[in-house]
């Protein structure tokens, strides 16, 4: 009996009961009662001592629990199979028999295999293998949308959404494609996630620092690329990045913008949107390549920066009145040259001058290499350089033949463009011509060169403007400046006249702490204004220009037309508290003194 496993079950129960009773009695009954019971329990304990110790460990409550814990879920799943086989017309009787037989075989394996920890895994494999066999058999005979899935679509979508939310939580910038759709943030497990974070590391400082333009241009092969931030027209370097990281980030940005990833030479441009922690912007992304490596330019809110009204350009009252005279129909003729150095607001001024004309009573047309702002009511034409049959001058001639009232020509560097623009003369439409130049005199010289004939170039010219951008002192943190008599004389303040001058600070006091100004972010300046030189050309000056005597024409404008020179306009802004003396010196540095040997 002791060798039989089943008899051992009963014996172990008896032994456990006897042992527990003995322990309880020995610990809880008074010693007197314990000594009285000793003769009764002694024979039983002697018999139990002769039993082999292994009998006590044949079974326990754990083993039946594991068997039932495996069999009950199997039976519950098997009960669902009959309805499933009926639904998809599978052999019901066959699979009922297979499932029941697998349960019996698995149970026998767990009970009959001497070692339980070998029999129970066999039982699991039999039951699981039967279910796997039904899964494979079923999925080959049911529609695709009815196949079993380990993870349901709802759970899968929930897991993906959770991963996406976790990736978004680490991200600080949201990107939107040119069509306006959000660009998904790559999940952390993907290689693109690191590239996404590298791109954010380049763009996030630009968004938080009021940067209007970011340039990332390779200067030499395999050298780190340094992002350049333009803030109020002043360029500042940011933290350098490795060439490999720059290439990956630029390619990733091209993917967001929908640009061609394989084209690494030709310049490509697209508009996307970004949403950062401090501001939401519309970004103009331009990418191209060179022998040194990739190049990236991002203009933030470019269209918004171009939308400056005529009264907000920075013209002095006398200059503004001189240009407003050309709104009159009788004076709306001739060529007006608009000049500035690159990056000094030439395009902004051109669009502002066009915008002051009534587009519903005037026929306004433009010819531009790149249309950067669509003005309401204006017919913008963008030159297509890929069309070899029509050049820039031919396009311009076609526009002038349509009898417009006002025309804007973005440049006249192409052959014959200047000659075509000068043909209408003083009786033709009002033609604004953009000319990159460093002064009024340089703009006139460039116009003469483009036309190719002094008399033809001079016959239609009615005015020349030149400008330079200057930063405005931050009104939130500026500090009054006590000027010296010499400083007042230098900026043209009449003796005895009081003015309010300021200096840039960039700091504010918050309670007992001195912090960076939250408006200008510590730069001391916020926003920009333009200083203008406006030379209106009369008939006398046109004759002088036709003879090539620009100096005489300029002197006549100074004497008779009360021309305000560029630096005089800048000093007026200092006197009006718009900018500072330091900014004036930065924009108009004094000439270098030559040392004679």
* Pair 432, 408: CB distance under 8 Å: yes
More confident residue, 238 or 5: 238
pLDDT digits (tens, 9 = 90+) for 115-142: 888 888 998 999 899 988 888 888 888 7
What average pLDDT does this structure show over 54-75? 75
More confident residue, 539 or 166: 539
pLDDT band at 64, cuts 50/70/90?
confident
DSSP class of residue 538? -
More confident residue, 227 or 31: 227
Q: Which residues of 140-149 are buried (b: 16+ CB within 10 A; e: fewer)?
A: eebeeeeeee
pLDDT digits (tens, 9 = 90+) for 137-178: 888 887 776 776 655 555 556 555 555 555 545 688 999 999
pLDDT band at 32, cuts 50/70/90?
very low
- Per-residue model confidence (pLDDT) at position 52: 47
- Per-residue model confidence (pLDDT) at position 119: 84
- C-alpha span between 597 and 593 (Å, rounded): 13
Separation of CA 216 from chain center: 14
Average pLDDT, the chain: 85
- Per-residue model confidence (pLDDT) at position 356: 94
What average pLDDT does this structure show over 248-275? 93
- Per-residue model confidence (pLDDT) at position 594: 55
- Per-residue model confidence (pLDDT) at position 149: 65
- Token look-up 């791109």 returns 199
Concatenated DSSP letters for 217-252? E-SSTT--B--EEEETTEEEE---B-HHHHHHHHHH
- Per-residue model confidence (pLDDT) at position 269: 93
Among 144-148, 216-220, 458-462, the range with the most confident prediction by mean pLDDT is 458-462
pLDDT over 60 (residue 30): no
What average pLDDT does this structure show over 346-371? 94
- Per-residue model confidence (pLDDT) at position 154: 54
pLDDT over 90 (residue 283): yes
Residue 282: helix, strand or coil by DSSP?
strand
Tokens of 394: 């031919």
- Per-residue model confidence (pLDDT) at position 424: 94
User: 483 φ, ψ to 5°?
Assistant: -80, 150
- C-alpha span between 583 and 294 (Å, rounded): 34
pTM: 0.70
What average pLDDT does this structure show over 15-35? 39
- Per-residue model confidence (pLDDT) at position 59: 53
What average pLDDT does this structure show over 87-102? 87
pLDDT over 50 (residue 376): yes
Among 21-35, 68-82, 572-586, the range with the most confident prediction by mean pLDDT is 572-586
């Amino acid at each position: 009996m002791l060798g039989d496993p089943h008899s051992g079950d009963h014996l172990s129960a008896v032994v456990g009961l006897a042992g527990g009773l003995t322990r309880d009695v020995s610990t809880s009954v008074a010693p007197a009662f314990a000594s009285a019971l000793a003769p009764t329990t002694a024979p039983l304990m002697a018999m139990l001592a002769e039993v082999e110790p292994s009998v006590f460990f044949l079974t326990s409550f754990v083993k039946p629990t594991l068997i039932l814990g495996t069999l009950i879920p199997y039976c519950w799943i098997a009960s669902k199979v009959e309805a499933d086989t009926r639904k998809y017309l599978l052999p019901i009787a066959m699979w009922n028999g297979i499932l029941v037989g697998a349960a019996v075989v698995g149970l026998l394996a767990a009970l009959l295999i001497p070692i339980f920890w070998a029999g129970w895994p066999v039982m699991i494999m039999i039951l699981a293998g039967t279910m796997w066999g039904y899964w494979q058999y079923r999925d080959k005979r049911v529609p695709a949308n009815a196949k079993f899935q380990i993870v349901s679509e709802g759970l899968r979508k929930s897991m993906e959404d959770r991963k996406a939310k976790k990736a978004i939580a680490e991200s600080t910038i949201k990107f939107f494609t040119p069509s306006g759709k959000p660009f998904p943030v790559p999940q952390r497990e993907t290689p693109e996630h690191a590239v996404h974070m590298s791109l954010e590391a380049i763009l996030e400082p630009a968004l938080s620092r009021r940067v209007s333009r970011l340039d990332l241009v390779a200067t030499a092969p395999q050298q780190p690329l340094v992002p350049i931030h333009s803030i109020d027209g002043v360029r500042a370097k940011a933290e350098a990045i490795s060439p490999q990281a720059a290439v990956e980030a630029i390619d990733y940005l091209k993917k967001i913008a929908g640009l061609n990833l394989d084209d690494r030479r030709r310049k490509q441009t697209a508009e996307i949107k970004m949403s950062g922690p401090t501001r939401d912007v519309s970004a103009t992304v331009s990418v191209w390549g060179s022998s040194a490596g990739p190049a990236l330019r991002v203009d933030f809110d470019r269209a918004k920066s171009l939308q400056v009204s005529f009264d907000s350009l920075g013209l002095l009252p006398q200059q503004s009145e001189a240009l407003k005279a050309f709104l009159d129909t009788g004076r709306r003729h001739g060529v007006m040259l608009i000049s500035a150095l690159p990056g000094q607001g030439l395009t902004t001024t051109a669009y502002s001058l066009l915008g002051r004309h009534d587009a519903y009573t005037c026929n306004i047309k433009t010819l531009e290499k790149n249309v950067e702002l669509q003005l309401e009511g204006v017919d913008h034409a963008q030159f297509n350089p890929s069309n070899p049959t029509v050049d820039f001058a031919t396009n311009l001639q076609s526009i002038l033949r349509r009898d417009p009232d006002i025309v804007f020509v973005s440049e006249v560097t192409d052959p014959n463009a200047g000659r075509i623009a000068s043909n209408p003369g003083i009786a033709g439409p009002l033609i604004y011509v953009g000319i990159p130049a460093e002064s009024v005199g340089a703009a006139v010289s460039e116009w003469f060169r483009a036309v190719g004939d002094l008399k033809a170039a001079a016959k239609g010219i009615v005015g020349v403007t030149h400008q330079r951008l200057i930063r405005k002192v931050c009104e939130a943190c500026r500090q009054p400046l006590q000027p010296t008599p010499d400083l007042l004389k230098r900026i043209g303040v009449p003796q005895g006249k009081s003015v309010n001058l300021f200096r840039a600070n960039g700091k504010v006091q918050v309670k007992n702490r001195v912090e960076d100004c939250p408006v200008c972010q510590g730069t001391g300046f916020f926003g920009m204004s333009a200083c203008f030189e406006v030379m209106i050309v009369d008939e006398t000056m046109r004759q002088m220009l036709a003879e090539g005597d620009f100096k005489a024409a300029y002197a006549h404008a100074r004497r008779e037309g009360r021309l305000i020179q560029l630096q005089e306009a800048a000093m007026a802004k200092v006197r009006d508290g718009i900018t500072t003396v330091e900014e004036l010196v930065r924009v108009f540095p004094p000439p270098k003194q030559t040392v004679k040997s």
